[in-house]
Amino acid sequence: MSKFTALQREAILRRISDVPLQSVFKFIDNSELTLDECVENGLVINDIPINQFEKWIKQSLLDLDKLADLGLNLSLVEEIRKSIERSEELQENYDLINDDMMIIQDIQKHLRSGGVTEEGLLEKTTIDKELLNEIKGYEKKEHPSQNNDVALIKGTDIFFFGKASSGKTCVLASIFNYAERKGLFIDNMVSIHGINYKNLIVNELKNSILPDSTPAEKKAVTYISTELILDGEANPLNFVEMSGEFFSKAAQDPKEINNTIDAHGYLSNSNKKLLFFIVDYKMYSDNEKSSVSSQANDFNNLVGILDGYKKALQNAYCVYIVVNKSDKFPKGTVDKNDFAKSFFMKNFKSVYTNLKQKEKKHNFDLRILHYSIGNLIFKNSYLSSINYDCPKNIIQSISQQAYRKNEDSVIGKFFKSKE
Ligand SMILES: Nc1nc2c(ncn2[C@@H]2O[C@H](COP(=O)(O)OP(=O)(O)O)[C@@H](O)[C@H]2O)c(=O)[nH]1
Ligand SMILES: [Mg+2]
């Protein structure tokens, strides 16, 4: 729009109260007139809708403090102040969401309390209609821990060790979810509580919901018994998940082993074992250096304890180092297993050396691999897509270990033909 000449300006200002409001707004928007001079020349300020003032204030065309001087009703000035504060607050929430700093439950709460709006989410964040519906319908049920002290049946025992929150339950859920899709496992009802727990976490994973942390109670040591079916042959597997606090407690006080990682005597039976050490890569990438060294300490202590405890390591076929949450590896990492190996050997050097020695002494395999359950958004609280490669590789490896004797025949055939 062209600028007025001085004469035109004067003429317009003189009859400003006759000019349609929308035109006056445009003149002010384009900095051709100021609100001050319009009011001086007879524009009735209280006729202007308050959202118009808000727009000008946001565009720095107007100062909030000036409105009272210009004659705007004080209660309206107050209303505008509040509304501006609120929209700043809303914007802060959208910024937090865009920076991946808000968990899904908080987004849901803000939607209910007005801290964000549906339109705002769609407009100002990357959330689309479908995801918005997921957020609105998101529901995480409380579930009591499953008391499970049934003795392990004969078979291969699979243990998950790692700090609280390192992702043990998620790895389990992810493995069972994959096995269910491919029809690889058959539930064994000896561990009915374990099976219930497994069904629950798999169901939640399918609904993108992440598990609650496993509490440090003896009854919260979960045992899920299943049979791996390959070529029509059933191979019993006992999956044991411990609370992360138990793991740390045992690491700090080896005398407590009976009450912690050997809860219910699961660790000391004569079954063959696969031991999974779950390393939390995210703690590292979040720059929580102290927690990395405390992970290393705990693993070192654990290795020491296991070495002397019954035949824990002697009965182990394989110790797996799982560098978990590999979706947080640097962008562009091509070979994630390679990266996991170098990462572990560099940052957990002492644990690696320690395990290498025990590997020789007890003759188990030592494997280092990466794992991710999928892509997580909303500050790691919501699974936006599921990874199937990681569980596939782990199950394949577990199968090879569990069937060690006839490795070349059955397993090789199965995986070559199926995938
Ligand atoms: N980025 C990422 N985060 C994960 C992954 N697995 C788990 N997490 C996060 O870690 C949290 C704790 O996982 P959980 O399985 O409960 O840990 P546990 O205490 O060792 O059983 C989850 O709520 C997620 O936020 C993963 O593969 N990638
Ligand atoms: Mg857990």
- What is the tens place of the pLDDT at every residue in 26-39? 999 999 999 999 99
Q: Where are the domains of the chain?
A: 6-137, 156-418
First to last CA, the chain: 66
Q: Tokens for 269?
A: 């039976």
59 Cα: distance to centroid of ligand 2 (angstroms): 50
The pLDDT of residue 145: 60
User: Residue 418: which pLDDT band, with cuts at 50, 70 and 90?
Assistant: very low
Residue 265 has pLDDT above 90, yes or no: no
Residue 331 has pLDDT above 70, yes or no: yes
**Mean pLDDT of the residues in the chain:** 88
Residue 220 has pLDDT above 50, yes or no: yes
Q: Does the beta carbon of 216 lie inside 6 Å of ligand 1?
A: no
Cβ-in-10-Å burial (0-12, 13-18, 19+) of 190 comes to middle
Instruction: For residue 163, give the DSSP letter.
Output: -
Residue 406 has pLDDT above 80, yes or no: no
The percent of residues above 90 in pLDDT, for the chain, comes to: 63
Residue 412 has pLDDT above 80, yes or no: no
Judge contact between 153 and 187, C-beta under 8 A: no
What is the spatial distance between Cα 338 and Cα 324, in angstroms, rounded to a whole number? 14
Instruction: For residue 407, give the DSSP letter.
Output: I
4 Cα: distance to centroid of ligand 2 (angstroms): 70
Report the range out of 78-92, 275-289, 292-306 with the highest average pLDDT. 78-92
What mean pLDDT comes out for the span 264-278?
89
Q: Does the beta carbon of 157 lie inside 6 Å of ligand 1?
A: no
The pLDDT of residue 27: 95
Mutate to test the pocket of ligand 1, among 380, 383, 385 (most ligand atoms within 8 A of CB): 380
| β-bridge partners, 277 | 161, 321
Lowest-confidence pick of 138-152, 159-173, 198-212, 316-330: 138-152
The pLDDT of residue 232: 76
The percent of residues above 70 in pLDDT, for the chain, comes to: 92
165 Cα: distance to centroid of ligand 1 (angstroms): 6
Q: Does the beta carbon of 172 lie inside 6 Å of ligand 1?
A: no
Segments in 42-167 forming alpha helices (H)? 50-58, 66-69, 74-98, 104-113, 118-124, 129-137
| β-bridge partners, 38 | none
Q: Tokens for 290?
A: 């102290």
What is the spatial distance between Cα 404 and Cα 411, in angstroms, rounded to a whole number? 9
Mutate to test the pocket of ligand 1, among 284, 298, 376, 390 (most ligand atoms within 8 A of CB): 376
Judge contact between 126 and 150, C-beta under 8 A: no
Number of the ligand closest to the Cα of 247 = 1
| β-bridge partners, 241 | 160, 222
69 Cα: distance to centroid of ligand 2 (angstroms): 62
Residue 101 has pLDDT above 90, yes or no: yes
The pLDDT of residue 47: 92
User: What is the distance of C-alpha 19 from the center of its chain?
Assistant: 57
Angstrom CA distances, 68 to 17, 34, 77, stand at: 20, 16, 7
Instruction: For residue 151, give the DSSP letter.
Output: P
User: Model confidence over 354-372: pLDDT tens digits?
Assistant: 999 999 999 999 999 999 9
What is the spatial distance between Cα 349 and Cα 366, in angstroms, rounded to a whole number? 14
User: Residue 2: which pLDDT band, with cuts at 50, 70 and 90?
Assistant: low
What is the spatial distance between Cα 218 and Cα 224, in angstroms, rounded to a whole number? 15
What is the spatial distance between Cα 180 and Cα 199, in angstroms, rounded to a whole number? 10
User: Residue 146: which pLDDT band, with cuts at 50, 70 and 90?
Assistant: low
Of 161, 171, 215, which is closest to residue 325 (Cα–Cα)?
171
Residue 182 has pLDDT above 70, yes or no: yes
Of 416, 395, 417, 399, which is closest to residue 407 (Cα–Cα)?
399
- Class of domain 156-418 as given by CATH: alpha beta
Q: DSSP string of 37-49?
A: HHHHTT--GGGS-
Q: Does the beta carbon of 391 lie inside 6 Å of ligand 1?
A: no
The pLDDT of residue 254: 74
Provide long-range contacts, Cβ within 8 A and 24+ apart, for 196-199: 196/146, 197/146, 197/148, 197/222, 197/224, 198/172, 198/173, 198/224, 198/226, 198/239
Residue nearest to atom 19 of ligand 1 (CA): 165
Of 243, 297, 280, which is closest to residue 167 (Cα–Cα)?
280
User: Residue 127: which pLDDT band, with cuts at 50, 70 and 90?
Assistant: very high
What mean pLDDT comes out for the span 300-328?
91
Instruction: For residue 102, give the DSSP letter.
Output: S
